[in-house]
Amino acid sequence: MSTPMSAPRLPWPTAAEPLPLASLRPVLDRLSSLATRHGEDVQMIPGAALAETEVAADPPPALEQLTDELGGVRLRELPLLTLQIEERTDVGPYTLLGEPTSFYPLYETPDAAVILTLDEHGAPGAVYGIGEDLALQLAAPDLPTYLDRFTDALERTLTALAERGPAAEDSADARTDAAEQFMDEHLFAALLGMRELADMPQAAPCSAEQVADAAEVAGALAIWDLRGAALGTRVDLMDTDTPGDPLALHVRFGADGLVVTLQDG
């Protein structure tokens, strides 16, 4: 049974500076252009400052400037990017994650998710995909890079849909199915464990001595350092040799989300 975490509002850290909208303006303009040119297939969800009704979501304060302008992106009514999460859960793809204030979902299905990591001050860091087997795949070292990667995949998907012809001449269900398959091909398959393991770079556990800041790995049962790792690098949490029940462990993110540790309890 899922555990709702939206009421009362989460105790988000507030020390981090908001992610400046200027750093995201180019990708937001690209998304807006795609929505204008392909309005029959893609919709931009208005942000909290632009919505006609009050938004019940509880995003991290560091994303305030972004979430005021953009609430998310839908493709054929499929939610591909969600910045307004109204209810959080600690099961499914989130089973091994730590405190709800240490990450924020950007995309989710019952068995998989894409999350943005947040440090103890609330500053956003790396982005990971989580597959059905609870493994992590590095999606991007930061949110702007992930949004660029997402927009690239969306543009390729919309180009492929345009090659099918106008939406009015296509079956709605068939077009939606095709859109989902194209987005999987161009983005989500690489992030959610949908490809052969042999095709995915694997991160090997490292020792505490290999991490410069000992505080990042204090109490860790296993450590992975993904600083400089290739996008798509996989951290297989469940295949780690640790004592006890692996489902009793939890993940902690350090070094801007790029040092991953498994912690006990």
pLDDT in tens, 188-211: 999 998 877 767 889 988 877 777
Chain centre to alpha carbon of residue 240 = 23
Give dist(CA 64, CA 48) in Å, integer.
9
Q: Could you tell me which residue, 97 or 52, shows the higher pLDDT?
A: 97
Residue 33, pLDDT > 50, answer yes
Q: Give mean pLDDT, residues 48-57.
A: 78
Token pair in block for residue 95: 């089973």
Q: What's the pLDDT at 247? A: 78
pLDDT band, residue 231 (cuts 50/70/90): very high
